[in-house]
Amino acid sequence: MQCFTRQGTKAEEKALDEESQRIAAENASRLGLQDDADLKFLLKGCSLCKVRSSSWKKDRFYKLQEDCKTIWYDSKKINRCAADNIFSIKDIECIRQGHESEGLKHHASDNPSNRCLSIIFKDYARTNLDLVAKSEADANHWVSGLNKVIKNSGSMSKIQKLEHWVSIRLQKADKNKDNMMTFEELKDFLHDINIEVEDLYAKELFKKYDQSGSNKLKKEEIEEFYKELTKQEEIDNAFIEYSGKDGTMTEAVLLKFLREKQKEDVGPEYAARLIEKYELNEIAKKDSKMTRDGFLMYLLSPEGNILNPAHKEVYQDMKQPLSHYFISSSHNTYLMVGQLNGPSSTEAYVKALSKGCRCMELDCWDGSDGEPVIYHGYTFTSKILFKDVIQAIKSYAFKASQYPVVLSLENHCSLEQQTMMAQHMKNILGDMLLTKPIDGKTEEFPSPEDLKGKILVKGKKLNGLNDSDDSVEAGDVSDEDEAAEIDNEAVQDQLKNKEKTAKLKLSKELSDLVVYCKSIHFPGFEEAKEQPFYEMSSFDENKAFRLAQESGHEFVLYNTQLLSRIYPAGGRIDSSNFKPMEMWNVGSQIVAMNFQTPCKEMDLYQGKFQENGNSGYILKPSFLLDKRSKFDPNSSTPGEWLKPKAFKVKVISAQQLPKANPSKTTSIVDPVVTVEVHGVADDNAEKQTQCIKNNGLNPQWNETFEFVVNVPELALIRFLVEDYDLISRNDFIGQYTLPFTSLQKGYRHIPLLSNSGDQHPSATLFVYTEVTE
């Protein structure tokens, strides 16, 4: 949006209003919401009270813009550009109605719940937008309308998303809103879509498509011009190779393509289903044929994605013992940013759960008024009530996944407040809380299937799983290694002095809630052979990496019978992360990461856990489950794990890449692609394409790389796109990571994800992959 005040004659203003309404109607139609009352209300806009604190509550005007993708609001800040007063629908994680955020609970509890709403953003660093509407009807319009826009935007086909993306940029370039484009507007359009071409070439193209000779391109001429710019020759060549003289593929020919190029073991019914689903031409569809447009639609669909669609659902055996699974786990879950200062928030738990996290950490300390609190002890991070965290977990534990959640307690509380913790968990969680062995299972772990909908507590325990609780009183237990995570000299001194004075006393009520996850100090690999299955240890990354390097095979065997939790070293005060691969390679189930920090390590983490329906549980390979396994990730010992694959990938092109830094409107990206293999040490490798200058719209590489993947069941493939810089570090544009065993062969589009792990609306890579023995 430009920084200007609309001025002109009434006729001009009327024409602009009519054009805005036409554009809004067109975009509403793309969303399938052309006659929707909620959407019409959002497009008109209304005043809402923005709440920041008990003393800061101000009315602001909010409206959905004509693109149906961004929300504009007024601001009283002096010299603020209107372009700063917008946020995108794609940045919203969810909308909640009622007092469902910390801000509204604490600062607007006197307002009727049905008039309150919160817009929750995906980015951890971005504050929730807490609002109070003038009426319940207004609040309902906003909640219902935004939910529809988000849902329908997500369900648009790739072609529809591309059309919407182009339409918005054309509207932005059309300065005088006459629905036509001059040469100067065309140059602005090209710049906005991230491509730079020489004036001479641009003029030639402009002249070619200006059929009327009016020095303006009409809408249909602009569309043809854009098609010329975005032509994907590799797709055309693949289609021509298989299509007949009439320019179509028959069902039989499409099946041949699927088997020969895509290496899919499918039958005629699958080819017929693709034609029925993706062919746009009704005549061709009736004749069971696929045109070039239908072929493109298929390649841009989930079936044409590099990730096997079957792995987007829960497809693994979920009836094995809990210790047989990698479990998505968060470290210091309550933190929104760094480890020494900054906010703790219940919202951090909600965000982690929405990303499929199944094991979360709660650092518990004595609070005022007898109420335990959660924060990073001996630091300046803010505090949140333990009971508020448990309430948030109850509300969101099973929205993303039905499989069990583990609460990892780091307990620093007095006996009285430990008992209060136990009471809160029992009262708030009710039947969700596991308080005794399920179905009498006391010899081995129950399965994730057995534990669906259950919340488990991990912590210290005064007795064993089979011992009677009746005779046990509160008592001393040795402290957990994790009590001193912060690598800060002053903080360490405080901890050491405090811990010299007394051992941790454990409340019987809290101890009783620990069933299958009893925390103990690591006794050593030999001694651990005598441990009962329900005892588990936690390791900081330094100790864990040392053990993995020095005793990789012993660590593998340890994790075949016991759970282990690995967490980041205390020196990571910026909430950075370690590489999780080495810990998965030795079979560690609970590899805890700082979810709040976008980084390469979290890319790998989310890439691994996106399979199996994003359930938060991934079944470990059989060689990491066998108690007699000979597997050692540090050696190339032959075994069932050694299944060398030749992996060949041709990086063909990219489409609609975003600018690396959107605030630099004059910049055009110089994209470069890196293909990375992450797995056991022998498999780790990466290769990079050449840089394509000044083209983020449709850069073409056509470069082929070859890798050998020796242990495919532990390998991840990461595709990274960056803006190349000769003298400084490349800027991140997008990436996509997936398990090697989930990779589809043949011609595939790869959706690119942002730094925070969210999908860019229309940015993709196009590749051709082969996997052979």
Residue numbers annotated as active site: 331, 376
Measured CA to CA, the distance from residue 656 to residue 564 in angstroms comes to 43
410 appears as a binding residue in the annotation: yes
Q: What would you report as the CA-atom Rg of the chain, rounded to the nearest whole angstrom?
A: 29
Lookup: tokens for 535: 């005892």
361 is in an annotated binding site: yes
Instruction: Report whether 148 belongs to an annotated binding site.
Output: no
CB 582 within 8 A of CB 683: no
Q: Is 62 annotated as a binding residue?
A: yes
Determine contact, residues 653/761, Cβ cutoff 8 Å.
no
| Residue 180 and residue 64 in contact, taking contact as beta carbons nearer than 8 Å | no
Give all strands of the β-sheet with 645-655 in edge-to-edge order: 685-688, 671-678, 716-723, 731-739, 746-753, 759-772, 645-655, 700-709
Phi, psi of 374, deg, nearest 5: -120, 130
Residue 52 known to bind ligand: yes
Q: Give backbone dihedrals phi and psi of 555, rounded to 5 degrees, phi first.
A: -65, -40
Whether residue 64 is annotated as binding a ligand: the answer is yes
- Residue 431 annotated as lining a ligand binding site: no
Residue 245, annotated ligand binder? Answer: no
Q: Is 73 marked as binding a ligand?
A: yes
**Residue 63 among known ligand-binding residues:** yes
- Read off the amino acid at residue 615: S
State the CB neighbour count (10 A cutoff) for residue 254: 25
Name the one residue in this structure whose structure tokens are 């057995």. 450
460 is annotated as contributing to ligand binding: yes
54 is in an annotated binding site: yes
Q: What three-state secondary structure class fits 719?
A: strand
Question: 588 among the known binding-site residues?
Answer: no
| Percent of residues in the chain assigned helix, strand, coil, to nearest 5 | 35, 25, 40
Q: Position of tokens 């797709």?
A: 235
Question: Whose CA is closest to 240, among 283, 200, 296?
Answer: 296
Any known ligand binding at 584? Answer: no
Say if residue 547 carries a ligand binding annotation. no
Strands (E), 289-391: 289-290, 325-330, 341-342, 359-365, 373-374, 380-381, 384-385
Q: Does 76 show up as a binding residue in the annotation?
A: yes
Q: Is 632 annotated as a binding residue?
A: no
Judge whether 53 is annotated as a binding position: yes
534 is in an annotated binding site: no
User: Is 69 annotated in some ligand binding site?
Assistant: yes
DSSP 535-554: EEEEEEHHHHHHHHHHSHHH
744 Cβ contact list (under 8 Å, min separation 6):
262, 264, 305, 306, 307, 308, 769
Rounded distance between C-alpha atoms, residue 623 and residue 293, angstroms: 46
Residue 458 assigned to a binding site: yes
Interatomic CA distance for residues 137 and 134, integer angstroms: 8
Does 670 show up as a binding residue in the annotation?
yes
Q: Is 452 annotated as a binding residue?
A: no
Is 74 annotated among the ligand-binding residues? yes
Q: Which residues are annotated as a binding site?
A: 50-77, 332, 361, 363, 410, 458, 460, 538, 565, 668, 670, 694, 723-725
Q: Which residues are annotated as a binding site for substrate?
A: 50-77, 458, 460, 538, 565
Q: Which residues are annotated as a binding site for Ca(2+)?
A: 332, 361, 363, 410, 668, 670, 694, 723-725
